[in-house]
Amino acid sequence: MDEQAHLLRDIHDGVLTITINRPDQRNALTSEMRDQLTLWFQDASSDLFVRCIILTGAGDRAFCTGADLRSGAPAPARPDGAPERASGDVARVIQEGWQRLVTSVLDCEKPVIGAINGTAAGGGMHLALACDLVVAADTATFIEVFIRRGIAPDAAGAWLLTRLIGIQRAKELFFLGDDVSAEQAAAMGLINRVVPALDLSETVTALATRLASGPTRALAITKALTNRALDVDRATSLLEEAWGQEQVTTSHDMKEGVAAFVERREPNFKGF
């Protein structure tokens, strides 16, 4: 297992497990941790050893509570007389930081399972919701904490939340900033499953193992088509669907899937 700063990375039988390992700080991300996670998700797309990803937090208190506001990145050198914060600085930090992390999960070509072991707040909540499947411990909570700090949501929150639960429900969570239990989150369609905390690891591992044995390229195309379905018109969606099928028909796994069907046996997918 490799350890870089407060992040753990382990791969076994095609399943890459990434653990945010900073429980004493409720798994808040420094800018260095955030950028390392982004690179790992980007690299996973082309890594044939990786067929599914689990993202979780260490301990039982928090999955991720967003950015560590106590550990800002060093400011770049500025000419004499320049303001401490120039116009465009904040937007650039958001775009190159948390937006980039969340989109690296959304754009990763491998299925990503969020194993939510505790509180997911702010950017950490949006990081959880960017995962393709979200399984939460019954002790987990989700908090749109931004309004409590007097700031607007970031980390692609408005884009994610509105698509998951609709405009009115999204506004309620954003405006009030209340804690949302795992059971409430499942009931409103924010997450997929709630399990007893002691069963979280076993449940997610079984799910990841199943996905890791599946047709990885077909899963990648399915993920991309589904993520774009609400953003494009019907004609564009159907065109992309056709070209997606064009890509998977040349894969080993598609040929194996058809052969297994004809031969009435279970397919043995290789991931390419």
pLDDT for position 86: 79
SS3 for 138-178 is CCCEEECHHHHHCCCCCCCHHHHHHHHHCHHHHHHHHHHCC
Q: Which residue pairs, CB below 8 angstroms and at least 24 apart, start in 8-13? A: 8/58, 9/40, 11/49, 11/50, 13/209, 13/212
Give the chain's length.
272
Could you list the mean pLDDT of each consecutive 10-residue stretch along the chain, which spans 272 residues?
76 97 96 97 98 97 93 70 78 90 98 98 98 98 96 96 97 97 97 98 98 97 96 96 94 94 95 94
CB neighbour list of residue 161: distance below 8 Å, 6 or more residues apart: 126, 129, 144, 153, 169, 170, 173, 174, 190
* Beta sheet of 141-143, edge-to-edge order: 62-64, 119-121, 141-143, 179-181
Question: In whole angstroms, what is the distance from residue 154 CA to residue 13 CA?
Answer: 35
Domains delineated in the chain: 2-71+89-212 (3.90.226.10), 216-262 (1.10.12)
pLDDT value, residue 240? 96
pLDDT at 136: 98
258 closest CA partner among 215, 213, 225, 207: 215
**What was the pLDDT predicted at 81?**
73
pLDDT at 3: 44
- Cα 130 to Cα 66, 111, 114, 198, 267: the distances in Å are 14, 11, 8, 24, 30
